[in-house]
A and B are shown apart, each in its own frame.
Chain A
Amino acid sequence: MIPGSGYALAPAGPQAARLAQVFWGFFAVCVVVYVVVVALLLLGVLRPGAAPLDEAGRLRLVALGGVLTAVALVALLVISIRGGHELNPMRGAKDVLTVHVIGRQWWWELRYPGTAPDQQVVTANELHIPVGRPVLLELESRDVIHSFWVPELHGKRDLVPGHDSTTYLQADRPGVFRGQCAEFCGAQHAQMGILVIAEPESDFQAWLAAERRPAPPVSGLTPDAQRGRELFLRGTCVMCHRVAGTPAGATMGPDLTHLASRRTLAAGSLPNVHEHLRRWVTDAQTVKPGSHMPPTPLGTEDQHSLLAFLEALR
């Protein structure tokens, strides 16, 4: 089962924690205001004729209301500005992990820069981060406006084409946090999810090392998977996808070098298990209508071989 979206008021990082504080501050003030207004309404309406006010008395009531509104607003302004003041407390912090996030219709591309070009890690829809370390996200869109939002970690940041932006976040506890594109971006806006996987530093480093490895060589594949590899390289898959260590190098669609190690398919929409993978590869349009993944009609044997190859991409 894919985890559900997080609760913005159950923060897992310092940014979301600050935002939750601001929320509760506002919530408290607003509840008081609402109770006062409804009480005035009920007290006024339910006892007609009792102890009426003269015109001057009524105007005093209005003035009191105005003053109370102003006081409440000043309180809220202070809460808001204090809360928003240091949302990027890691600016200048050492040991920051930088990840390049690219919004695409309708998936997320993630690039972890390396010291050399072959050290760069490219993956999709699964953002691995180390617990307790600040992460700088460099956000960019290649098509329309998207918005990066993982409620348990931070508020939204729009990805506007032509306006690259950055945001910091940090996870204080390990876990899988689901995020969702929050700016309407076309047909499949609803199925543009992302999983943020926060893990201890050692696990994160192990994951990064694994991601840096290319796909297994032909010799490391079963005969069935070898046949699938041929199908992959001769078919339409290579028009869009890259698998490091093979001639497939297109960047239109998600990088598939470590597809089998990912938890979901189709941008957080399906658990990555055999049957879903089969449906997604052969008939993506019924799973995610309007997505850019074309249907791939294959015989049973070819399906089996292609899936054997894809499932070997660990």
Chain B
Amino acid sequence: MNDARNDAMNDATNEALAATWSPGRGLGAWLREVRHTEIGKRFVVTAFLFFAAGGVEAILMRLQLSKPNNGMVGPDLYNRLFTTHGSTMMFLFAVPVMQGVGTFIVPLMIGARNLAFPRLSAYSYYVYVVGGLLLYVGFAFRAGPDAGWFAYTPLSGPGFSPGKRMDVWAQMITFTELSALATAVNLVVTIFKHRAPGMSITRMPLTVWAFLVVAFMIIFAMPAVVIASSCLALDRLVGSHFFNHAEGGDHLLWQHMFWFFAHPEVYIIFLPGLGMISAMLPAFTRRRVVGYDVVVLATVTTGFVAFGVWVHHMFAVGLPQLGDSYFTASSLIITIPTGLQIFCWLATLWRAPLRFATPLLFVLGFFVTFVVGGLTGVMLASVPLDLQVHDTMFVVAHLHYVLIGGAVFPLLGAVYYWFPKATGRLLNERAGKVSFWLTLVGFNATFFPLHLLGLHGMPRRMYTYLPGSGWHHLNLFATASAGVLALGILLTFINVIVSHARGLRAQANPWDAESLEWAVPSPPPPYNFAEIPIVGGRAPLWEEPSSRGVVTGLASDRREVLVTTLLDAAPDHRTILAGPSIWPLFAAAVTGVGFIVSMFTPWGLPIAVALGTPVMVGWFWPKGRPTPLHAEQPGSKAA
């Protein structure tokens, strides 16, 4: 066969694929969108908008703390600010942005054309948006929550938080956790069953491993907090006394249920960050990550041990000493897998021929900040040491070193790294480097002094302090530095907006990286891969081109995809994925009605069921022609 004829055939196939997988045009098509690349981008953009809102709240708090007895922000607003800041950053930024990156990148990395449940991913996004709007509409109407992102009872209960403020919080939690659960289930099935043939589980990219572990962690952690927040909502709505000690309830029950979720949450947030580092390092060091097995096992181990450390948030309540010692030991042990991963990356970086692009700078910034957070975390694991620094500014410093160092630095690196894949344009490198240095210096100058403030007796969550406290100068310095940090982040925001319109056009693989997402054009066509690749190693794009194969025989007139076996990714059968649909949007709207009406009356649930039934019928209404499963092995050929 000659090449020209081949190309013509390919063009025809690609056109057919594009027609099959495109959502169409117009607002209706936009709302019916189910492509993972689009849903993923929407998740990330929305999450960064909430990140900006949380940042503004942080700046207001820092300004209020810049001098003693400051009258700028009163206690009521301050308490709403720090509650909204914490809730936003945890529930509306950190987890959703990781969901978004996973939704965008995982199918591309494993050679799939979409997620396993395309409509579920759209539902997941819309539910998240409703939850986020609820929090901010509440805030705008002075009904934003004010009892902390941890909402300890009895302060958050009906006796001490009358009104709807904490109901807004409890339902916002339920929305975002529902969204996270839906994404997690989707990712697990996609990763297990939709990998390109040949991508056995031992050839899976480390980034995909990280998202897989995180998805399982979400499945085990989120139900705890959904139950907790629902019990709180019930206490507030119908007086159920789960958390009323006078009627046999217990306030420590809330703390156990909350932290059983909220500690794994920390790992849910930064394990994807670690996965992103594993994705970026090979491109900039020109070598594969050292110790694939070590990194995989460390990630899985972290996922398990993360569920056994939650009591270190509760040392000051005075649980029995033996139990406390166990949690000290487990909280120390979890350092080992994280430490091993860091040493694997250090070994990867060791005297490698580096290319100092912006993503690599953020990775290096990760090392110098995250390790500080890890080490102060080790301090917090010790019962006696924790008794002094618990609930002080020291912990504020620690958690920002972990979450900004461990998640936001890799994430910003990943924004620079994958932006060309998502948009087809490169971000400006010079602006990226300036942004990096401002962020690094601003971050450390803002948060390092808080360690000292904590040791000097400054608790968290104080809207004001006395002139004689001795805390003035460090607070003022932190506030000034927060301005530098904000400037650094703002520069990346501007870079994204400007480069989106005017950036340099990106090739398919601008970084000469190893994994499959770089095999498709930038941005990817609606069907991602014109031909599903056959994977022969851990670094598919660095293998000899002659050894690469592709799958043939998938229909181009239907959304037909290949399902492979769990461990070996051997071809198993073909299936047809769901196409665009408006029902996920309606389903999310009904979910919203149900949860929001439930803040006011127990009739919320029956109303949601009544409205939801027709929506579910619409969602699953058969399309009129059967969609047979093709059990025969699809053919394959070597290129």
Chain A residues with CB under 8 Å of chain B are: 1-9, 16, 18-19, 22-23, 26-27, 30, 33-34, 37-38, 40-41, 43-45, 47-53, 55, 58-59, 61-62, 64-66, 69-70, 73, 76-77, 79-81, 83-84, 87, 105, 143-145, 147, 149, 151, 154-158, 160-163, 165, 167, 178, 180-191, 269, 289-290
Contacts and interface: CB of A to CB of B under 8 A. Distances in A.
A66 B381 CA distance: 19
Contacts, number: 261
Contacts of A190: 75, 461-465
Contacts of B385: 19, 22-23, 26, 80, 83
Contact of A155 (B316, B324, B348, B371): B316
B245 to A, nearest CB: 3
Given A22-B384, A70-B336, A178-B457, A30 B378 contact: yes
25 contacts: A1-B467, A5-B470, A19-B388, A26-B382, A30-B375, A61-B347, A65-B339, A66-B343, A73-B332, A77-B328, A87-B384, A144-B160, A147-B391, A154-B387, A155-B316, A155-B386, A155-B387, A155-B388, A160-B317, A162-B246, A163-B252, A165-B318, A188-B75, A189-B462, A190-B461
Contact of B384 (A1, A61, A80): A80
Contact of A80 (B318, B346, B383): B383
Q: Is the interface of A mostly helix, strand, loop or mixed?
A: mixed
Contact of A37 (B290, B346, B353): B346
Contacts of A83: 382, 384-385
A18 B375 CA distance: 20
B53 interface: no
B325 interface: yes
B577 interface: no
A191 B69 CA distance: 11
B350 A19 contact: no
A62 B340 contact: yes
Given A76-B382, A145-B155, A158 B316 contact: yes
B525 interface: no
Contacts of B340: 62, 65-66, 69
A77 B317 contact: no
Contact of A289 (B76, B368, B371): B76
B456 interface: yes
A76 B351 CA distance: 32
Interface of B: 74-76, 79, 147-148, 152, 154-155, 160, 245-246, 250-252, 290-291, 294, 316-318, 321, 324-325, 328-329, 332-333, 335-336, 339-340, 342-344, 346-354, 364, 367-368, 371-372, 375-376, 378-379, 381-392, 455-471
B346 A44 contact: yes
Contacts of A59: 290-291, 294, 347
Contacts of A55: 290
Contacts of B466: 2, 4, 269
Contacts of B290: 55, 58-59, 62
Contacts of B154: 143-145, 161
B294 A62 contact: yes
B367 A38 contact: yes
Q: 3 closest A-B pairs (Cβ-Cβ)? A: A155-B387, A5-B457, A162-B245
A156 B387 contact: yes
Contact of A5 (B147, B367, B458): B458
